[in-house]
Structure formats: C-alpha cells, structure tokens
Amino acid sequence: MDKFTKLTSSAIPLSIENVDTDQIIPARFLKATSREGFGENLFKDWRFQKDGSINSDFVFNNSTYKGRILVAGDNFGCGSSREHAAWAIHDYGFKVVVSSFFADIFKGNALNNGVLPVQVSPEYLQELFNEIEKDPNTKIEVDLETQKIIISSTGSSSDFEINSYKKTCLLNGYDDIDFLISNKEAIEVFENNRT
C-alpha cells in the first residue's frame, strides 16, 4: 500500500451530497478481475453523456479545477461495499478526499488503499468550497502526522480524527494482512477454546 504523510495540492470541488458508490464507479465496470484501470471510469456517467461525449457541466471536466484532493459534499461514498470505488479514486490520482461525513465501508476501503478520508465540520467544508470557488488554485495542506488540514492562503485550519492504528499503517504503508497473519497463533488458540 502507498504511504501517506503529507500533501499540498489544489482541489476539485464536488459539492453534491450523498455521492454513492454507484456514481463513483457504476456496476457495469465491476467485471474486471484486477485492481487496475478503474480511474478511467471514475464518475463515468457524470463525466460523460450517454453517447460518450464530454459533459462539460461536470466539475471534473472544468480545467480550472485540478489537484490530488477531492472535496465532496456530506455522506460521501454511501451505498455498495465495492472497493472498486476506492480503487477508481486512487487510480484517477486522488490521495485525499475531504467531506463532512463518510460512509463506513468507503472510509475503510479508502484507508486500505492509501487514500486518506479527511472528515471536517460542515462549516469548514463550506469554507473550503468558498475558498476554492474564489480561487481554484487554492492550495490545501493535509498533514497526517499532526492530523491537520490547512487552507494555505488564509491559514484557516481544522483538526481531523483518525484511529491511531490506521494512522501508523498509512504513515508506513502497512496493511492489515501482515498484522493478522502475525496473530495466527492467537487465532488458533481462540478456535480451539470455542465450544
């Protein structure tokens, strides 16, 4: 898994609430058997019209907005457990998703793929949207070590929560499998003690 320590980048604002994983990656693209290449189909039905032409109304197609941070509306990633959603976001080039609320499964999937979900207050999220609207080049700094997100131009910052185990994993690029396998003895003892 990719390590994550610190990132400074401009952001793409997606001010829609309840973005579900069927929008992030529609089910018809889940037929692959590898993890690669999902970025191409990220938000496919919002980025493109049905005839394949570009939907110029969608923010991803507005070249003013670029960056490795996605700033999204409340309850991001709800719906299906498909990890393909996290793979698509990662593959497209995002390292951070900021929202005022994340669905559980998406959050876990993101963390397992080196994508940092940063949960902020609705007020701070609005501040981010406002600053990005004022200046699309607004740089946002995300520091995992100090658990802080800062709008570079204004210095306005917010703390964010992350479970200390997951933080260690992300800072070092560890995943859960190694940890679980290192506990095999305890797992076997548990199995043997069950009635």
Footprint on this chain of another protein (rule: CB under 8 A) = 15-18, 20, 22-23, 26-28, 30-35, 45, 50, 73-75, 78-84, 86, 101-105, 108-109, 112-113, 163-165, 175-177, 179-181, 183-184, 186-187, 190-191
**Nearest approach, Cβ of 10 to another protein (angstroms)?**
23
Q: How does strand 11-14 pair with strand 69-72?
A: parallel
**Closer to another protein by Cβ: residue 17 or 127:** 17
Which residue's CB is nearer to another protein, number 154 or number 172?
172
CA dihedral 94, 96, 100, 106 (to 10 degrees): 70
Q: At which residue do the structure tokens 């609705």 appear?
A: 122
Shortest Cβ distance from residue 126 to another protein (Å)?
A: 13
Distances (CA, A) of 71 to 37, 56, 66, 151: 22, 19, 11, 12
Enter the DSSP assignment of 124.
H
Nearer to another protein, 30 or 54 (CB): 30
Written as six digits, the tokens of 167 are 């933080």
> And the tokens for 105?
């499964």
Is 9 or 88 the residue whose CB approaches another protein more closely?
Answer: 88
In the complex, minimum distance from the CB of residue 70 to another protein, in angstroms, rounded to a whole number: 17
Task: Give all strands (DSSP E) within 57-115, no chain letters.
Answer: 69-72, 96-99
- Shortest spacing between CB 144 and another protein, in angstroms: 16
